[in-house]
Chains A and B, each alone.
Chain A
């Protein structure tokens, strides 16, 4: 096996112009290691996309795709004519962007700070503790947030009043303008530690003679951070940033639904909740599928766009 491979490799340069498929055949090992898995991915991610047909129908599960009536682009027209849709889109983008940015910088900073800790036990303990909230469901997190910020007996209001900042307790959850901030902070609290893990792994990969060499050259802590750690993190960070940009329109809805209330719905309602409300809530499958299609298109455009920008600035990119 390894022999044949060896011989095919030596002759590789000779056959370079002998056609694409010939060349491909020579990469049979790579093909063997990729084609089955890509096929699997196509099967489970792309084959079900026949469901997108529903977006052009008045779909009912009782009639199926073959029996349901085709309505053309009606669902999309309806979507784009709905005033709430754009408000919902704005909220989704705003909250996702805030989470993306805070999460991006937050986790990099935390990784850098943890990296500076010499006491191994302390470092491990803090790392483990910070990622625990990732496993706590939003129901619980939202409850803690609501109780903490409550105007009747919440600790934040109690402290604010005790210290004399306010006379009357503030109804934080009743103020639409605050919702995005509260939501972002709650999300940061929940996911910060978890998203740090990947950066720590990369930093560990860097920990080496480079640092020692820099130390010998007299570089201080911040110089090392600036010249070794941060550049080391950049490729992973930019790549994650690109991938996550694609999720800007798909931030889920659980957190918003659990934290929000009818007073702040102008700020709390997001695309996924809107889709859920309008598809399962009122039995309009097709409408939900149309929204899902719209989301896919936006996501892909965003990823392509950001990827292009990253390329331009000479950063790592995913394509």
Chain B
């Protein structure tokens, strides 16, 4: 009994290996159920992990996908620390058939042989995937030449209509000054100084807070690092900066962070800095925003959502926040609005446990077709969207539903791990219409009167209009696999950074500032700055060579 089982199993394995290696025609003969011929639509079932336990395959879009491909999924929710779960699954060989994971998890799964290479399967079953990736196809490949995970290309040709700059100024502060054009931090400084002199308190009697930031240990860089490269007009490379000849340096000790620290120091010495700038947590930041007492600061759009809702619902729409790109000076050129050629963040990998992996590739390939994109971005025609004057728009019925209940989209609209295969907001399908519902018209239609008014004063339609033209960068450095060497050094440097920068912000005068700054950079140097920068430069240059080769720019 056991022997027959073993023989059968090894036969199956051999068959699948043969199928994977070049898709030889012979292996296609073994009966009906295991027919790996393209276009098989017989029902087949897989497990995949998701990040929310609310997600369900019992959903109108998911059902349509099953209709089209025969594939259906069972969701295994991960509700806690994702990396921890990924590591435990790997150690216990407990992972689902399809893994929905982040790039940093892939290496471990690859080393353990838990996920299978996909390039041959894509060759055979993924024509759309190859077509849509185009010249970027080779970017999917790992250093060993195999493809271990799939994601979508970012085909956006324009800035997503809902994107916003990260510096904010309260509407009424701008109004009082007569809606001036604010482009630099110095202009901002004068603006808040003038306003604060006249209005030390809000109408509710709260103290006005001229300049604040998003607190909390979760995003420590939001207070000084992120605003520093943003004001320098540089793309977000996390703790690093990349210069034109691809040399990597630490952003944490760069000239831009020095400049930004100087700005904060000036703000502090003028008594304009939030007293709790470095000590509050995220909830307290939100409360201050929601009370309408913060006048300006660095707050990425997603940190504002709830607070602005609270402002609107208490009738203080004029205390919402304008999101503007601010730079160090007029000469700085803004290269902050960027995208990468691909959306590698939440990827799909196929585990060795999955039977008929070609069916999963076919499923993904379907998502890469225009029909698939419409389904995963817009939903089902007639239910979630309709075509009016040749343009796709969401149906009133569906809009009403999701406004009443944010979870409605999970049951009745595109939702689930397949939505990561979206080509991105601001991208077009072959029919010339937008691939996703987040169009300018749609974003505009959701603004409240106060927002519409202030945008009109500046002659803009959406906040994204303030942003410079969308640029494509090969990658952000934090997307690369972190090198093993000098991890500890980097960790220590970031701790020195967290500890020292606040002290420098509180420096009494320029002389003390310079002294402390020299002390700080000295500490970072001693902690191994050079080693870290060299390692990351090597990594980045290696990536760029590979990039140039695969994209064919060299």
Binding site for B on A (CB under 8 A): 60-64, 67, 78, 82, 84, 142-143, 146-147, 150-153, 169, 171, 173-174, 257-258, 260-263, 265-266, 277-278, 280-284
Contacts and interface: CB of A to CB of B under 8 A. Distances in A.
Contacts of B87: 61
A143 B279 contact: no
A84 to B, nearest CB: 7
Given A61-B87, A152-B275, A263-B278, A282 B488 contact: yes
Nearest to A58: B484
Contact of B284 (A63, A147, A265, A277): A147
B532 to A, nearest CB: 12
B491 A64 contact: no
B278 A150 contact: no
B220 A262 contact: yes
Interface of B: 81, 83-84, 87, 90-91, 104, 107-112, 114, 206-207, 209, 215, 217, 220, 274-276, 278-281, 283-284, 482, 487-488, 490-492, 495, 498-499, 501-503
Nearest to B275: A151
Contacts of A143: 281, 283-284
Contacts, number: 95
A207 to B, nearest CB: 46
Contact of A262 (B84, B276, B283, B502): B502
Nearest to B216: A261
A265 B503 CA distance: 12
A62 B482 contact: no
Given A61-B108, A61-B112, A143-B283, A84 B495 contact: yes
Given A151-B275, A265-B498, A277-B491, 10 more contacts: A62-B108, A62-B109, A63-B112, A146-B280, A146-B281, A150-B284, A262-B498, A263-B279, A280-B81, A282-B487
B482 A283 contact: yes
A123 to B, nearest CB: 36
B487 A61 contact: no
Given A61-B87, A62-B109, A283-B482, A169 B275 contact: yes
Contacts of A61: 87, 90-91, 108, 112
Contacts of B209: 152
A315 B283 CA distance: 48
Nearest to A176: B499
Contacts of B491: 277-278, 281-282
A173 B277 CA distance: 11
A262 B279 CA distance: 8
Contacts of B217: 257, 260-262
30 contacts: A60-B111, A61-B91, A61-B108, A62-B110, A62-B111, A62-B112, A62-B114, A63-B111, A64-B112, A142-B281, A143-B284, A146-B284, A150-B284, A151-B276, A152-B207, A152-B209, A169-B275, A171-B275, A171-B279, A173-B279, A174-B279, A261-B217, A261-B280, A263-B278, A265-B499, A277-B491, A278-B491, A280-B84, A281-B491, A284-B488
Contacts of A257: 217
Given A61-B91, A84-B495, A283 B110 contact: no
Contacts of B83: 280
B250 to A, nearest CB: 16
B498 to A, nearest CB: 4
A7 B6 CA distance: 59
B94 to A, nearest CB: 12
A266 B499 contact: yes
Contacts of A147: 284
Contact of A278 (B279, B488, B503): B488
Nearest to B281: A146
A175 to B, nearest CB: 10
A12 to B, nearest CB: 49
Contacts of A280: 81, 83-84
B195 to A, nearest CB: 18
Contacts of B501: 262
A60 B108 contact: yes
Nearest to A259: B281
A152 B281 contact: no
A262 B490 CA distance: 17
Nearest to A168: B275
A169 B207 CA distance: 13
A308 B433 CA distance: 80
A265 B495 CA distance: 9
A147 B488 CA distance: 35
B281 A263 contact: no
Nearest to B217: A257
B257 to A, nearest CB: 14
Given A62-B108, A151-B276, A261-B278, A84 B84 contact: no
A84 B492 contact: yes
B90 A62 contact: yes
Contacts of A277: 491
Nearest to B109: A62
A283 B274 CA distance: 35
Nearest to B284: A146
A78 B495 contact: no
Nearest to B88: A61
Contacts of B498: 262, 265
A62 B482 CA distance: 16
Contacts of A64: 91, 112
Nearest to B497: A262
Contacts of B281: 142-143, 146, 258
A55 to B, nearest CB: 16
B536 to A, nearest CB: 14
B66 to A, nearest CB: 33
A171 B279 CA distance: 9
Contacts of A282: 482, 487-488, 490-491
A171 B499 contact: no
B208 to A, nearest CB: 11
Contacts of A281: 491
A169 to B, nearest CB: 7
Nearest to B87: A61
A310 to B, nearest CB: 39
B110 A152 contact: no
Nearest to A257: B217
B107, B275, B284, most chain A CB atoms within 10 A: B275
Contacts of B114: 62
Which 7 A-B pairs rank lowest in CB-CB distance, beginning with the nearest?
Answer: A62-B111, A62-B108, A262-B498, A62-B112, A173-B279, A61-B87, A151-B275
A262 B222 CA distance: 13
Contacts of A260: 217
Contacts of A150: 276, 280, 284
A82 B275 CA distance: 33
B282 to A, nearest CB: 10
A261 B499 contact: no
A284 B87 CA distance: 12
A136 to B, nearest CB: 15
A131 B209 CA distance: 38
A60 B502 CA distance: 36
A78 B502 contact: no
B279 A261 contact: yes
A61 B209 CA distance: 48
Nearest to A147: B284
B274 to A, nearest CB: 8
A258 B281 CA distance: 8
A82 B527 CA distance: 11
Contacts of B274: 152
B513 to A, nearest CB: 17
Nearest to B288: A152
Nearest to B274: A152
Contacts of B283: 143
